[in-house]
Chains A and B, each alone.
Chain A
């Protein structure tokens, strides 16, 4: 492992070690580029993971203060926890479920395809599916996605079998155990899935892809990576010409350091990345870095989500095995005839008793709720995840009234559902209940969205500098040696779980950065 000087201005600094940052770091290191990878969290390894929901949540989650506003239910029930994402080496790839779906072609051109949707700030991506296909292929191979590269699908667990039965009964056709970055057979030095459950608590077998034990050790093996856990980046610095020159971070002891850099890549997820750009405001950039468009922090998307949990006469034991064990894709299609634009997926989901109590119907109490919990072993569950509308008013702003331990304003996350999101969610609740009902459900609960796991769009990609923050390579329009490398680049969200696309963009971005460095363009 490398150990670069703080004064070494030839390094690429990457902020965040998750799907975007962790992948980008490895890709650059493989090309011989010197990388300093800063991660705010600690390095928890597989042996540290615990099959205990609250304990794992405490170990892996980003729990630093944040605030919320808006009409979304999360503001009411979990006002200090807008997002369920991670602060640990590997970022949210420690916590993610593993679903790895490509965007559909039309999802790159929603402004053109969907037309004007009142209240929505739709924009076409400056790239197409064809641009990404070779990189999607590389990402799927890297991550070992099932049903690609000749890798068989995972076996279906009880929860999947219930969903599969009901879905097929209803006539749904695209029903299978998913495209998952979880080994169904040993691959890339990692074993196959042991059906442990607890995918959200960190995979104890390492069958699920996470940058923690794939990209990062591979990058370390090149001798080019300097990984610094416990490093909270406070500010990005720039010179008089406007180019970024490095970053200021606080180490685990709270001591502040300035690391010089040739290139800075921000990959702190869609809340911290815009917060950092905004907190880096200066005389030259009074509205924050890379914010000439005013779009930094705007257009926050979190996917239209919800869950359906149903009780059955006989046991299901949904918690046994892969948390996201299968998918129904028929509703992901383009079909405005349903009363909304965009599409959605059904994906099985299970929560253990501790999280079910917290999330099934937040705030609920009394005999009806307790009776549902009594039926826990007879429950099946599914998550609904679909494209939500970007809205300029939804986003991340600095809350000057609440400061973190370094004295910096925390992020406030504002979100209001768009009517299209509501229409889609209602459709999905009805269809999801129908799936379970077709398999014999006695009762279904329509669980509201959890704190956001898919955080997108707050530094969006655009063809024109006036419309967004970064160009088609994730390079900021305003500052050529400043990049965004996470899901905040997404112009729109698609119906698909975002990680595969984040990894794909990171691989593509690494090619661009290495090439531009070689040509001395940055």
Chain B
């Protein structure tokens, strides 16, 4: 995974990550306080940042930081590295987002960003990004934890002795 959760001490190492990514033709996006870093192999950092914002606008969970959204963008970037047409779609799509927002989607208000997204709902760019968020963000065990989903259970013996019937708030049937 190119997404790295970084502790304070490892933050500086992201410089080498950035160098590696730059050598591969992409770039790097580093999260606030160096909490995570996204190494891009195809897309440029500005496109990456815009896509992170867009994916959060599509499925905004205030309880999530940007790291799981960056993973979605990583998935898009990895696909784009193998698919020129997709790289073009994503680059042109983010350019269109900027153009519709006086040159910067990132600097626009939420209301304006959403209006832009509503206006492009049927575009292949929007559909591709939205579909990738659905199958990536919600397939992330880190996100599952936040949403209260426990994932694989067979290796824990199922829920037979782990609360399959532990609901305690239903009133007595009367």
Contact = CB atoms under 8 A, between A and B. Distances in A.
A374 B63 contact: yes
Contact of B167 (A158, A168, A319, A358): A158
Contacts of B170: 161-162, 165, 439-440
Contacts of B16: none
Contact of A204 (B134, B151, B154): B154
A354 B139 contact: yes
Contacts of A158: 163-167
Contact of A161 (B58, B130, B157, B165): B165
Contacts of A373: 59, 61, 138, 147
Contact of B143 (A197, A353, A365): A353
Interface in A402-443: 439-440
A316 B163 CA distance: 10
Interface in A445-472: none
Contacts of A321: 158-160, 164-165
Contacts of A204: 154
Nearest to A50: B152
A51 B152 contact: yes
A204 B166 CA distance: 22
B33 interface: no
Contacts of A193: 158, 160
Interface string A88-126: 000000000000000000000000000000000000000
Interface residues of B, number: 39
Interface string A347-368: 0000011101110000101110
Contact of A196 (B61, B133, B153): B153
B138 A156 contact: no
A223 interface: no
A315 B148 contact: yes
Interface string B114-132: 1001000000000000100
B135 interface: yes
Given A165-B170, A320-B163, A374 B147 contact: yes
Contacts of A356: 138
A377 B167 CA distance: 12
Contact of B153 (A54, A198, A365): A198
A358 B116 CA distance: 23
B134 A353 contact: no
Given A205-B158, A321-B165, A197 B147 contact: no
Contact of B139 (A54, A317, A363, A378): A54
A353 to B, nearest CB: 4
Interface in B72-92: none
A165 B61 contact: no
Contacts of B59: 365-366, 369-370, 373
B158 A358 contact: no
A367 B56 CA distance: 10
- Give chain A's interface residue range (CB within 8 Å of chain B): 35 or more
A157 interface: yes
Given A169-B173, A316-B167, A367-B60, A197 B144 contact: no
Residue of B135, B152, B164, B165 contacting most chain A CB atoms (<10 Å): B164
B150 to A, nearest CB: 7
A354 B165 contact: no
A400 to B, nearest CB: 26
A463 B143 CA distance: 55
A378 B153 CA distance: 19
A357 B134 contact: yes
Contacts of B151: 51-52, 352
B167 A162 contact: yes
Nearest to A192: B160
B159 A52 contact: no
A42 interface: no
B138 A320 contact: no
A40 B151 CA distance: 30
A353 B153 contact: no
Given A194-B160, A196-B158, A370 B167 contact: no
A213 to B, nearest CB: 15
Contacts of B61: 370, 373-374
A377 B130 CA distance: 23
Given A155-B165, A161-B165, A194 B157 contact: yes
Nearest to A365: B58
A365 B114 CA distance: 11
A366 B138 CA distance: 14
B165 A319 contact: no
A205 B153 CA distance: 11
For the complex of A and B, list the 7 residue pairs with the smallest distance between their C-beta atoms, beginning with the closest: A377-B148, A194-B158, A321-B164, A357-B138, A51-B152, A196-B158, A204-B154
Interface of B: 58-61, 63, 114, 117, 130, 133-135, 137-139, 143-144, 147-155, 157-160, 162-167, 169-171, 173
9 contacts: A50-B152, A51-B151, A155-B165, A157-B164, A198-B153, A205-B158, A321-B158, A321-B159, A363-B130
Given A195-B159, A196-B153, 13 more contacts: A51-B154, A52-B151, A158-B165, A161-B165, A205-B154, A205-B158, A317-B150, A317-B167, A320-B159, A357-B134, A358-B138, A366-B114, A378-B148
